[in-house]
Amino acid sequence: MPYEKLEISTPKPVLSWANHSLGADETKMAKNVASLPFVFKHVALMPDVHLGKGALVGSVVATKEAIVPAAVGVDVGCGMCAIKTPFTASQLEGKLKQIRLDIEAAIPVGFHENKETDKTVLNWQGWREFKDLHSGVQRLETKAMKQMGSLGGGNHFLEVCVDAEEQVWLMLHSGSRNIGNMLAQNHIGSAKELAKLADNRLPDPDLAYFIAGTPEFAAYWHDLQWAQGYARFNRDVMMARFKRVVEKHLAGGKPTKALLSVNCHHNYAEKELHFGEEVYVTRKGAVRARSEDYGIIPGSMGAKSFIVKGKGNAESYCSCSHGAGRTMSRNKAKLQFSLDDLIQQTDGVECRKDAGVLDEIPAAYKSIEQVMANQSDLVEVVATLKQVVCVKG
């Protein structure tokens, strides 16, 4: 659908693809961001937009000569990875539970980490820069190495999916783990201290920012790019292990070649060219969707997911949604739904069905079909996937 310009009074307009009215808190958050003096042209809201911290999740904010660390968020570089395998759905019959158990044994989830660091992880070139990161994280190098190739918790997941042509896909969602979180928190704290010293009257303390050309900006930008690289490689490491597990069951352990691979961030910032000007683009819960860019838009653990190709819509800053988007908080979901509800809503999916994942129940999310309908001008669908195995953190 085409976007609508929100009827709110702000220095820069807010364009929305959500096709619904924002709540009072969401509207206030959108106004706060659109009122920042360095926002470029407009703010774009994706169809899955919902409350975040400082900025809305599902927002795309382009800025000139400044960046807001909290708008990027603390899970720096969080994103998705997917591969299309040469396997077909019929090969999965009778093997789903064991595949799930083997995935859980091969890839640490939640607060767990790898007991040993393998050669692939040790050879990552990013470790050479670790000593140059924010001084508060040097003690975390060993932990960062052990967490490389681990999933994390919350809405992070690994899934075996099947598309409409009965082809098997592997898909996962994860980010920069504890090291990205710590780097982000350190810089957010620094930005807030600078705002206090400068007596900046911000509409929200979480919108504290760094100005380009300052040492603080340079330090944040360096650490941000490092953490985004960590997150991308973390997904690559997990996907390689994930693929080996599935190959063990479906190909007798013989390596196979992926028919298509996609690895994309949805919590990050990059320098890009838009409307003829170089700007800093922060996508907080949004995927880059330039013409021919591949992206991944997952539903909940009981809904469809989509592999997409971007249409390069200029007004969205060449972006699309990063998922379905929550309709309620985790605490509210736990209070409103029972384990019986979870079992019913994940029928046909080999996954955990216990209180530990109740906050991820499908009913806590928006309809992914509606979200996709609202962004037909942003992306085209390449493949529609339905999970048959889901591993949560």
Classify residue 346: in a domain, yes or no.
Answer: no
Asked whether the predicted pLDDT for residue 230 surpasses 90, the reply is yes
Strand partners, 84: 169, 260
Question: Sorting pLDDT into bands at 50, 70 and 90, what band is 9?
Answer: very high
User: Which residue is catalytic, options 173, 249, 266, 322?
Assistant: 322
- Residue 216 domain-assigned (yes or no): yes
CA–CA separation, 343 vs 138, rounded Å? 43
Determine the Cα–Cα distance for residues 188 and 170; give it in Å rounded to an integer: 34
Whole domain around residue 167: which residue ranges? Answer: 4-327+365-392
Residue percentage of the chain with pLDDT more than 70 = 100
In a domain, 140, yes or no: yes
- For residue 94, the domain's CATH number is 3.90.1860.10
Give the Cα separation of 321 and 372 in Å (integer).
Answer: 8
Q: Helix (H, G, I), strand (E, B), or coil: what is residue 227?
A: helix
* 3-class DSSP string for 238-296: HHHHHHHHHHHHHCCCCCCCCCEEEEEECEEEEEEEECCEEEEEEEECEEECCCCCEEE
The per-residue pLDDT for range 263-318, each reduced to its tens digit, is: 999 999 999 999 999 999 999 999 999 998 999 999 998 899 999 999 999 999 99
- Does the residue 334 lie in any domain? no
59: how many CB neighbours lie within 10 A of its CB?
A: 27
Active site (annotated) includes residue 265: no
Q: Is residue 284 part of a domain?
A: yes
Whether 336 is in a domain gets the answer no
Mean pLDDT, all residues of the chain:
96
Q: How does DSSP assign 291-330, residue by residue?
A: TT-EEEE---TTSEEEEEEE---GGGTSEEESS--BSS-H
Residue 1: band (very low, low, confident or very high) from pLDDT cuts 50, 70, 90: low
pTM for the structure as a whole: 0.96
Degrees to nearest 5, angle at CA 258 with 254 and 263: 130
The verdict on residue 342 lying in a domain is no
What's the number of domains the chain is made of? 1
Q: What sign does the CA torsion over 158, 163, 166, 169 have?
A: negative
Q: What is the mean pLDDT of residues 254-268?
A: 98
Biggest CA pair distance of the chain: 64
Please state whether beta strands 14-16 and 39-50 pair in parallel, antiparallel, or not at all (unpaired): parallel
Query: Does 377 map to a domain?
Result: yes
